[in-house]
Chains A and B, each alone.
Chain A
Amino acid sequence: MSSTGMDEALWALGRGTGVVALVMFTVSLVLGIAARSGRPLPGLGRFGTSDLHRTAALTGAGLVALHVTSLLFDPYAQLRVVDFALPFLASYRPVWVGLGTLAVDVLLVVTAVSVLRQRVGPRVFRVVHWATYVLWPAALLHALGSGSDAGSSWFRVVAVVCVVAVVGALAWRLAPSYAGRGWTRHPRRTA
């Protein structure tokens, strides 16, 4: 394969993994809200919802790793190693790419704490997990601003579907009927 062919392949891989990762995080966020609700999803049950939430998140994380690696080696993206750790220093669309870097930083912390949750305890785990509400918008904005497919119609459809799903799930999360995990009972007082 010629060098330009290789570059195009890397660029395609970078874009592809980025978009699918966004979809994975959207699925994970929506399933996370479904899991927190304590209601079983048809065919999955409560544990199945938790399992799928986790699988989607880890798949997304894996795709982000691929996304980042392919873009590091792609000369068209002009990214240095530092751009993957510290945000807003890139020469190409610094703000939008920077949001991606921010999302990766948050993703690293959330993933680490989630994997080590038995060690850090439920309180720390829960507080850090709230950061996913920063992760998802950052990832979305990054995709819209820096992704070269952003203008294309199929990507717009994907983005709209993701936004509708998250907004819908959030609305349910904030509704009073969501509380109590579906049971009529006194809310617990946690120490």
Chain B
Amino acid sequence: MTAPQAASRVLLDGAGPDHDAHLARYGVCPRPRLDHLLATLAHSGLVGRGGAGFPTAMKLRAVAAGSRKPVVVGNAMESEPLSSKDAVLLARNPHLVLDGLEILAQALHTRRTVLAVGPEVDPASAMAAAGTRGLQVVPLAGGFTAGQESALVNQLEGRLGVPRDPFTRVTERGVDGRPTLVLNAETLAQLALLVRYGAPWFRSVGTDDAPGRSLFTISGSVERPGVVEAAGGSRLVDVVAPAVPVRPAAVLVGGYHGGWVPASHLTVRLSAVDLAAFRTTVGAGVLHVLDDATCPVEFAADVTAYLAEESTGQCGPCLNGLPHLATNLRRLATGVRDPSLPSEIARMSALVTGRGACAHPDGSARFVASTLDVFRSHVAAHLDGYCPSSQRREAS
């Protein structure tokens, strides 16, 4: 099959649940051997598209090194509220995701292969596609942390979907005590394309440090919200342009655990290296546009209240620290003129970081820190007794 051209939408222009149409478009699902698969993945530089951005080849190698037959889990939990890329991908191109699972299943001789689907994802298309191929689609309970690897493993074992102590990685011991490979649905689709068309094809799009294509979910103050497909390392302004942003003040990159890029810097490239200056990563590709009439502090207060509620409550620092952050941000947002608020928020952000079983407190602290940093003058205005956004609202 001839490889698709650079400009085409390879991930989103799928054949839907019709397997014959899928085969006509992409050809038969390849069956590479493990060593060939590892080499292809390593050469491609594919990293996970679920948020953590971990090199897929490394994960696969870790799981393959185990002594027991492994388990492969496709992660379509879509736990990030601002993200809908996995739902859209599964609706439009379910067979590509399932191809990814099948490729891994036969290369690893897995004991069990499942696609885990969260409540925000309509499983119909995936189930219809999976049924014809004998693959298992499992709908699971949701929540912000439900898509975390070990939380997913817990749910698959019939337990409460809360994260485990990371001392033992799931790649070592996961579902039924077996080495478990958890990959995001988009990562699986990317893998399926990679194996067909090769690593050079994959790397022909994007940049050296952000090779290949990615899916992005654009939301917020835009005329046309939705999921787009763009080359890795593209400029933020170019990726959001088709969505037509309205009076953008800043863009939240990476979702509720991400960081802000102010309007003055929208030419930043969406790659880990370039985004590091804004203390965020691409994450799961969420790009949320904030307009200048929306108060960023109030937005942050709402988000942090949600994040506090989504704490599973296992770990003391997170369970107690996040509500503390949420309360203080709310005070700041509602105009409490306490000059110690920013430093107290910074102190609590540092206190919760690194002190939990998962990255929930760390990500939440990162988002809060970014808000206070990027919107420093806005915060100062609040402490002086006025909100620049509400002034703009009244003026218009």
- Direct A–B contact in the complex, CB atoms closer than 8 angstroms: yes
Interchain CA distance A186-B162 in the complex, whole Å: 18
Interchain CA distance A189-B319 in the complex, whole Å: 9
Asked if A185 is at the interface (CB within 8 A of a chain B CB), the reply is yes
Is B314 a contact of A188 with CB atoms below 8 Å?
yes
Interchain CA distance A189-B162 in the complex, whole Å: 10
In the complex, what residue of chain A is closest to B322 when comparing beta carbons? A186
Give the contacting residue for A189; candidates B154, B159, B313, B323; CB below 8 A.
B313
Is B159 a contact of A191 with CB atoms below 8 Å?
yes
- Binary CB contact string for chain B from 155 to 184 against chain A (1 if under 8 A, 0 otherwise): 000011010000000000000000000000
Total A-B Cβ pairs within 8 A: 22
Interchain CA distance A190-B312 in the complex, whole Å: 9
Give the contacting residue for A186; candidates B154, B159, B323; CB below 8 A.
B323
Give the contacting residue for B320; candidates A186, A189, A190; CB below 8 A.
A186
- Binary CB contact string for chain A from 159 to 191 against chain B (1 if under 8 A, 0 otherwise): 000000000000000000000000001101111
Asked if B316 is at the interface (CB within 8 A of a chain A CB), the reply is yes
Q: B315 to nearest A CB, angstroms?
A: 8
Contacts of A188 in B (CB 8 A): 313-316, 319
Is B160 a contact of A191 with CB atoms below 8 Å?
yes
Interchain CA distance A188-B315 in the complex, whole Å: 7
- Binary CB contact string for chain B from 108 to 132 against chain A (1 if under 8 A, 0 otherwise): 0000000000000000000000000
Interchain CA distance A42-B223 in the complex, whole Å: 67
Contacts of B162 in A (CB 8 A): 191
Interchain CA distance A186-B154 in the complex, whole Å: 24
Is B319 a contact of A186 with CB atoms below 8 Å?
yes
Contacts of A190 in B (CB 8 A): 314
Contacts of A185 in B (CB 8 A): 316, 319-320
Contacts of A186 in B (CB 8 A): 313, 319-320, 323
Give the contacting residue for A191; candidates B314, B319, B323; CB below 8 A.
B314
Interchain CA distance A190-B165 in the complex, whole Å: 13
Interchain CA distance A190-B357 in the complex, whole Å: 13
In the complex, what residue of chain A is closest to B316 when comparing beta carbons? A188
Q: A123 to nearest B CB, angstroms?
A: 12
In the complex, what residue of chain B is closest to A190 when comparing beta carbons? B314
Q: A15 to nearest B CB, angstroms?
A: 48
Q: B357 to nearest A CB, angstroms?
A: 10
Contacts of A191 in B (CB 8 A): 154, 159-160, 162, 314
Within B356-380, the residues touching A (CB, 8 Å) are none
Interchain CA distance A189-B316 in the complex, whole Å: 9
Interchain CA distance A186-B315 in the complex, whole Å: 10
Interchain CA distance A189-B160 in the complex, whole Å: 11
Contacts of B319 in A (CB 8 A): 185-186, 188-189
Contacts of B159 in A (CB 8 A): 191
Q: B72 to nearest A CB, angstroms?
A: 24
- Binary CB contact string for chain B from 90 to 115 against chain A (1 if under 8 A, 0 otherwise): 00000000000000000000000000
Interchain CA distance A134-B209 in the complex, whole Å: 64
Contacts of B323 in A (CB 8 A): 186
Q: A183 to nearest B CB, angstroms?
A: 9
In the complex, what residue of chain A is closest to B320 when comparing beta carbons? A185
Q: B309 to nearest A CB, angstroms?
A: 12
Q: B222 to nearest A CB, angstroms?
A: 37
Interchain CA distance A69-B314 in the complex, whole Å: 46
Within B316-371, the residues touching A (CB, 8 Å) are 316, 319-320, 323
In the complex, what residue of chain A is closest to B319 when comparing beta carbons? A186
- Binary CB contact string for chain B from 47 to 74 against chain A (1 if under 8 A, 0 otherwise): 0000000000000000000000000000
Contacts of B160 in A (CB 8 A): 191
- Binary CB contact string for chain B from 281 to 322 against chain A (1 if under 8 A, 0 otherwise): 000000000000000000000000000000011111001100
Interchain CA distance A188-B313 in the complex, whole Å: 5
Contacts of A189 in B (CB 8 A): 312-314, 319
Interchain CA distance A185-B320 in the complex, whole Å: 6
Interchain CA distance A189-B323 in the complex, whole Å: 15
Interchain CA distance A186-B321 in the complex, whole Å: 10
Q: B223 to nearest A CB, angstroms?
A: 42
Interchain CA distance A190-B319 in the complex, whole Å: 12
Contacts of B320 in A (CB 8 A): 185-186
Can you identify 22 A-B contacts, CB atoms within 8 angstroms?
A185-B316, A185-B319, A185-B320, A186-B313, A186-B319, A186-B320, A186-B323, A188-B313, A188-B314, A188-B315, A188-B316, A188-B319, A189-B312, A189-B313, A189-B314, A189-B319, A190-B314, A191-B154, A191-B159, A191-B160, A191-B162, A191-B314
Cβ-closest 8 pairs across A and B: A189-B313, A185-B320, A186-B319, A191-B160, A191-B162, A186-B320, A188-B313, A188-B319
Residues of A within 8 A of B (CB): 185-186, 188-191
Q: A186-B319, A190-B314, A191-B160 are in contact. List 8 more A-B contacts (CB 8 A).
A: A185-B316, A186-B313, A186-B320, A186-B323, A188-B313, A188-B316, A188-B319, A191-B154
